Amino acid sequence: MRLAVILAVTVGCAACAGTSTAPSAVSAGTTTNVAGTWDGTIASSNNSTEQVRLLLTQSGSDVRGTWASTSVSWSGQVTATLNGSTVDGQVTFAGTASNGTVCNGSAAVTGTASETAMTLTSAVGVVGAVCPAPLPAGITIDVRRQ
């Protein structure tokens, strides 16, 4: 009988021992809410850093919206899919060169999002037709919810 009690106590203590893990910022199966207005910057390796605003809507994991620079003539569309806090998508680009030519293209973007901050990157940058001004390359869009 004593052996059974000692064994039960030992097994019970072993089951309760160990380390606890804090929950992650976004639990598995939960999609971050990114709908709304986001302000920040768009930086590229071949253009100056500019101010940007994103206006996003969301239905489940699907994100759609528009973006525009508030400091230069750049704008476009955003389409993305969220998996938890991971963002995968595409940003279209329309920009006006100094000679008035409208240059168009798109960039595949990846990144992370929380309820308050989002960063999207594209190592290649905008790919599109020949343009008299350089299309943004090596893009980082860093925004905060407003």
Q: CA 9, CA 65: separation in Å to the nearest integer?
A: 59
Options 3.30.56, 2.40.50, 2.40.128, 1.10.150; CATH of 32-129+136-145: 2.40.128
Instruction: Give the pLDDT confidence of 1-22 residue by residue, as tens digits.
Output: 443 333 343 434 444 444 444 4
Q: Which residues contact 75 (CB under 8 A, 6 or more apart)?
A: 66, 67, 68, 69, 93, 94, 95
Residue 143, phi then psi, degrees to nearest 5: -130, 160
Task: Determine contact, residues 110/103, Cβ cutoff 8 Å.
Answer: no
Q: CA 115, CA 32: separation in Å to the nearest integer?
A: 6
- The token pair at 94 is 């329309």
| Least confident stretch, 23-32, 36-45, 58-67, 88-97 | 23-32
Query: Residue 130: what pLDDT?
Result: 87
Q: Count CB neighbours of 143 within 10 A.
A: 23
Q: What percent of the chain has pLDDT over 90?
A: 68
Domain ranges of the chain: 32-129+136-145
Q: CA 75, CA 69: separation in Å to the nearest integer?
A: 6
Does residue 66 carry a pLDDT above 70? yes
How does residue 48 score in pLDDT terms, banded at 50, 70 and 90?
very high
Q: Which helix (H) or strand (E) holds 144?
A: strand 139-145
Strand duo 36-44 + 47-59: pairing:
antiparallel
Task: Determine contact, residues 79/63, Cβ cutoff 8 Å.
Answer: yes
Q: Which helix (H) or strand (E) holds 8?
A: helix 2-16
How does residue 31 score in pLDDT terms, banded at 50, 70 and 90?
confident
